[in-house]
Amino acid sequence: MKILEFVAVGVLALLSLTGFLLVGCESGSECEDTVTGNETLNQENVQLQQELESLRSEYEVLSSESEFASRELGELKVTYKSLLEEPLGSDLKNPTWQELKQFLELDETDCQEYITDKFDCEGFTISLRDSAWRRGFRSAYVAIGFGEGNTGHALNAFQTEDKGLVYIDNTEHDAVGYVEVGKIYGTIALDGVKEEFIDTTSEPDEFWESLAYTRYGGNVFDYGYYGTFTQRREFYEQSIDAYNTEVDEYNRAAVAFNQDNNTYSFSQMETWEGKLDSWAKNLEQLSEDLGASKLEPMGIVTSIEVYWN
């Protein structure tokens, strides 16, 4: 901007000098002085024109360099953003899902004690990241927010070769995280994430029949799988409630039967008992199918930041 201002001053000087060149004279000596002055002014005018041209050339060079620098800065910003969001090229490798699962099962980061403000979710995340680095696996530190005024959460991410992006939350448990902006952040215990699982499309209060299995049609690490898992978990809890209600009814009937108040025959009681036994076994298998632990959802995700090592 200073160059442009200086150029403007040069133009004004030229206009002023042109005004002097038009001044007349009354006597010979005055004319001689005027001619001499005019020659001097003309020389200065030429110099100023040369300086003006030089400044214009310099301005064009600086303007060109400025445009180039702006483009280069824009490219650097794009590159910087991609470096934050994408894995860096390095000697670290992307594991397969089975390699990642085996690593997590052997790693003991999740066994450490949670200490508020000292070793919380950030501590678990950094420890797992470092452990993965020693194993030779590329990973990311992920920070998710739950809106203004709410405490965020930290977890890890791995770009697996066969299953794509997988979020891992190992704060006191090895679990798969399901993260999507605008939706509840949820987790599923590591052993509960599977492509084939017990079918729960029947009625919760009729869960004594032979078990059937079904396969998930998509990627089990996509958010949609968390919705399917949640429905299965709700079915399990509803079926437990229905089973307990049925057990209470059976026990009352058994007491009445033993007191010879035979509302039901021996054969009916025996069939009923067999149904409850099958139901209990099915619930036990479904519990194992859902995984060792249930982690409560933390809130609706408003932001996701991913930093790869």
For the stretch 138-197, pLDDT in tens is: 999 999 999 988 999 999 999 999 999 999 999 988 999 999 999 999 999 999 999 999
The answer on pLDDT for 20 being more than 60 is: no
* pLDDT for res 74: 77
Give the pLDDT mean for 228-243.
96
Start-end of H helices in 86-181: 97-106, 121-135
* pLDDT for res 18: 39
pLDDT band of residue 3 (cuts 50, 70, 90) is very low
User: What residue has token string 């902006």?
Assistant: 181
SS3 93: strand
What is the average pLDDT value for the chain, to the nearest integer? 84
Give the pLDDT mean for 40-63.
81
Q: Beta-carbon neighbour count of residue 116 at 10 Å?
A: 6
CA dihedral 275, 200, 231, 176 (to 10 degrees): 110
Lowest mean pLDDT among 5-19, 172-186, 279-293: 5-19
* pLDDT for res 55: 82
pTM of structure: 0.68
Contact 212/199 with Cβ under 8 angstroms?
A: yes
